Amino acid sequence: MSDKYRIVLREDEIPKRWYNALPDLKTPLAPPLHPGTHQPIGPADLALLFPMELIKQEMSPEPWIEIPNDVLEIYKLWRPSPLHRAYNLEKALKTKARIYYKNESLSPAGSHKVNTAIPQAYYNKQEGVKKLTTETGAGQWGSALSFACNIFGLVCEVFMVKVSYQQKPYRKNLMQVWGATVHASPSNLTNSGRKILEADANSLGSLGIAISEAVEVAVSDPSAKYTLGSVLNHVLLHQTVIGLETKEQLKLAGEKKVDAIIACVGGGSNFAGIALPFLKDKYANPDMKLIAVEPMSCPSLTKGDFRYDFGDTVGLTPLVKMYTLGHSFMPPGIHAGGLRYHGTAPLLANLVKDKIVEAKAYHQTECFEAAVLFAKAEGILPAPESSHAIKAAIEEAKTGGEKVIVFNLSGHGNFDLASYEAYLSGKLTDYEYPKESVEEALKNLPCIE
Ligand SMILES: *Cc1c(COP(=O)(O)O)cnc(C)c1O
C-alpha cells in the first residue's frame, strides 16, 4: 500500500549500492584516449585530475558499488526523494496514462546534482585532497559542489560561464553562502581563459571553456583536484540512486511494468540516474521506451556525430567517443543553461547508438508551455532543463492508452524566474541549431576511428 499522491520510502530504504551499467552494455564502451598521443589512457593518466577511488569506479567491471556509510548519512538530508503520481496533470491532460515524477528538486541545491557532489567530495577528502575546482553553467553543479565541499571542509573554486554569472547572480550567491570562490569564465586567471579573451574580449563563455579553466587550476596545484558534474561514468553511477529508489516506489504504487522513462539531457547524468536501473527491464521488454530529451538549440544526440571529441573547448581533457556538436560549439544563450554542452556522456551515447535509448529534441517555448501547465497542476515550478522531460512526458501521454509514464523532475526553477519572466512576456524565441554549424565545428575534430 502507498499514499495516493506521494510515494515515499523510509531513510533506511535509501539504496546501499549504486548500479554500474558498464558490464551490462551490449557494445563495450570505447576507451578514452590521451589528448596528445591518441592512445587509450589508464588510471595513472587520470590521477592528476581525480582521486583513485573515483578512477576505479570510472572503469569498474563490478555491477554494484557500495555507497560509503558517511555518504548515506548525508544523503538522508534529502533522500529518499518522493515519487509523485501526477493526478492533477493527468486530469489537465484528460489522459488515461498514469504519470509519475521523481522529485529531485528537494535537495539542498535544488537539483539531482548533490547526489554525486557528496560522494565526489567524500572520496577526495579521504585521499587527502584540500581543494576542488569545477565549472558550472547555470550554477546548479557549482552550488551542489559548494554545498558538498562545505560539508567536508574542502576549499571550492568554481568557474561560472560568464553569461550565467551576469544573468543569474543568485546561484552565485548561494555558492558563496556555502563558502565557495566563484569566477566568471572566461577569466584572466588561466592560460585557457586568456587565450579565449584574446580572440574575443566579449566572449560570454561556455561550459567547454570553463572546464578548460577548472582543469588547468587543478592540474597546477598538487593539493587540488578537479570535479565534473555530469558526463563521466562515476557521475552517472552515483545518480543511479534515483532510479533504484524509483523502482521500489513503483512497486509500492502497484505498477508491474513501466512503458516510458523520460529525462532531460545536458551531459546525461540525471537521465542515466533514473533510466539505467531499468536497463534490464528494457532488454526484457523492447517495447519499453527510455527517452532522452534535449533542446533543439543544443542537439548533441539528435544532430551530433558519434565520434571521438574533447570534453572541453581548448582540448585538455581526454578524448571520448560520444555524440558531439564539436568542442568549438558555441551555444546560443538559451535559458536551459544546464543543457548547454557540446557533448554527451559516452555511456548514454553508447545506448543511443545501440538504439536502447531514443533521443528527442524540443524547442524552448513549447517546454516552458509544458512547465507552466505542470506548475499549475502540480504546484512545483520546474527547472527550465526539467521542462524538456515534462514536455516529452506530455507528448507520450497524448499518444493514448493506459501507459505508465515516469519522468525525472531533475530540479526546481525557483532561481530561474528571469527565464519565466522572458517566457511570460513573450520575449523567448525558438532557435534551431543549424546542421551546417555542426558540420563546420566537426571539421576541427581529430580524425580517429
Ligand atoms: C545540470 C542539470 C541538468 C542537466 O544535466 P545532466 O547531467 O544531463 O543531468 C538537468 N536538470 C537540472 C535541474 C540540472 O541542474
CA–CA distances in Å: residue 138 to residues 8, 27, 160, 234, 279: 30, 34, 8, 22, 30
**What's the mean pLDDT in 275-297?**
97
Name the residue of 81, 112, 261 to mutate for ligand 1: max ligand atoms within 8 A of Cβ. 112
SS3 of residue 220 by DSSP:
coil
Kindly report the protein residue whose alpha carbon is nearest to atom 1 of ligand 1: 338
Structural domains of the chain sorted by starting position, each given as residue range(s) with its CATH number in brackets: 6-14+79-110+240-442 (3.40.50.1100), 17-64+112-233 (3.40.50.1100)
Please give all residues whose beta carbon lies within 6 A of any atom in ligand 1, as ranges: 111, 113, 140-141, 230, 264-271, 338-339, 383, 385-386, 410-411
The residue behind cell 520510502 is 9
Encode pLDDT of 307-358 as tens digits. 999 987 778 888 999 999 998 877 666 565 556 688 999 999 999 999 999 9
Q: State CA 402 to chain mean position distance.
A: 30
pLDDT at 338: 58
DSSP strand E in 27-104: where?
Answer: 64-66, 83-85, 98-103
Encode pLDDT of 125-146 as tens digits. 999 999 999 999 889 999 999 9
pTM of the model as a whole: 0.96
CB 118 within 8 A of CB 74: yes
* Ligand 1 atom closest to the CA of 386, numbered from 1: 11
DSSP strand E in 138-286: where?
Answer: 155-161, 181-185, 224-226, 260-264
Distance between CA atoms of residues 272 and 410, nearest Å: 12
* Ligand 1 atom closest to the CA of 111, numbered from 1: 13
Distance between CA atoms of residues 87 and 9, nearest Å: 20
pLDDT at 449: 61
Encode pLDDT of 199-232 as tens digits. 999 998 888 889 999 999 999 999 999 999 999 9
pLDDT at 447 over 90: no
